[in-house]
Amino acid sequence: MEIDLGANAFGIDFHPSKKLVAAGLIDGQLHLYRYDTESSLVRERKVRAHKESCRAVRFIDDGQRIVTASADCSILATDVETGASVARLENAHEDAVNTLITVTETTIASGDDKGCVKIWDTRQRSCSHEFNVHEDYISDMTFASDTMKLVATSGDGTLSVCNLRTSKVQAQSEFSEDELLSVVIMKNGRKAICGTQNGILMLYSWGFFKDCSDRFVDLSPNSVDVLLKLDEDRLITGCDNGIISLVGILPNRIIQPIGSHEFPIEDLALSHDNKFLGSTAHDSMLKLWDLEEIIEGSNGNASGAAEDSDSDNDGMDLDNDPKPSKGSKRKTKSKANPVDNRAFFADM
């Protein structure tokens, strides 16, 4: 099923229990749609959320609120039932906010176009951590809850690992040849997978972040703008050529295409039951793909590749020098593990 949003959508997210999907648009509006199994998308609500583009969207507080981040430097919490503004953080960043993820029940993380990452304590309504490790925009972030590590990728071509327990940068990779645009953690926390501007997937072993341990070079001739984890062995990629694919990691292989847009993919999200995949692109379309048959058909399907032969020291943070070695680069682009952020803007 699909619907024309009327403007490009930068971010989408599914409700954690209901058949609702939210989209943040380039014109600053927040749209909320209800979907069903009868192949229809019906708009429930339209909210003028921001003065400038709405770049990231997340349901929080058991789906009672939606948090959005914008190029106008603000972060907004909106009530799902009424569409009313619950709270707004004006000037949350000094530059446009590009990414937003939930971290714990009482914290969220945001990243901006200058490479700054902030952790927000939602009980104290304040910034609890700030990391200025990158030289260019934060393209994506994800969180390892077991070790309290935030992993971020940047347009400067590096990956960073920030320790929220010590408030320090745990590690930073060497500069890569191209911008790092997306990141997920897989293989039970042993691998961080990054999508790049040149279409290569770079695989980093946990605790060995200076350089990648493997590269998947045959994925796409175009940039890999979005990565979405399906399980510990498979992920979904969204590329600049509009193609959405199901991909296996270690062994590295393209399992099968899922669908496509006419223009570059902006964001991907999974429904709470993993039945539907949502996608947005530069064509202003919101599309929902039924994954059940795709997933069932791909089980056991393998083609080509490298074995997972790394014998890393799982969970060991061996990179202690966060300083990279050379150069810098540049593009513009987000998702992470959905968790209950019950306290967020509760009564701000």
Residue 122 has pLDDT above 80, yes or no: no
Residue 207 has pLDDT above 50, yes or no: yes
Residue 338 has pLDDT above 70, yes or no: no
Residue 191 belongs to domain with CATH number: 2.130.10.10
User: From the CA atom positions of the chain, what is the Rg in Å?
Assistant: 19
Looking at residue 266, what is its pLDDT?
A: 97
CB atoms within 10 A of CB 115: 23
Residue 17 lies in a domain: no
328 alpha carbon, distance to own chain's centre: 22
Portion of the chain with pLDDT greater than 70, in percent:
84
Residue 41 lies in a domain: no
Looking at residue 278, what is its pLDDT?
A: 97
Residue type, 56: A
Q: How far is CA 254 from CA 219, 224, 299, 305, in A?
A: 7, 13, 13, 10
Q: 13-33 burial by CB neighbour count: b if 16+ within 10 A, else e? A: bbbbeebbbbbbbbbbbbbbb
Looking at residue 312, what is its pLDDT?
A: 44
Looking at residue 322, what is its pLDDT?
A: 54
Name the more confident of 180 and 65.
180
The mean pLDDT value for 201-205 works out to 98
For 144, the domain range is 98-260
- Residue matched to tokens 């791909």: 298
Peptide bond just before 251 cis, omega within 30 deg: yes
Residue 23 lies in a domain: no
Residue 62 lies in a domain: no
CA-based nearest residue to 138, from 156, 120, 126, 121: 156
Task: Report the number of distinct structural domains present in the chain.
Answer: 1
Looking at residue 120, what is its pLDDT?
A: 87
Residue 301 lies in a domain: no
Residue 121 has pLDDT above 70, yes or no: yes
Residue 252 lies in a domain: yes
Residue 233 lies in a domain: yes
d(CA 140, CA 100): 8
The per-residue pLDDT of the chain, averaged, comes to 87
Residue 90 lies in a domain: no
d(CA 195, CA 233): 16
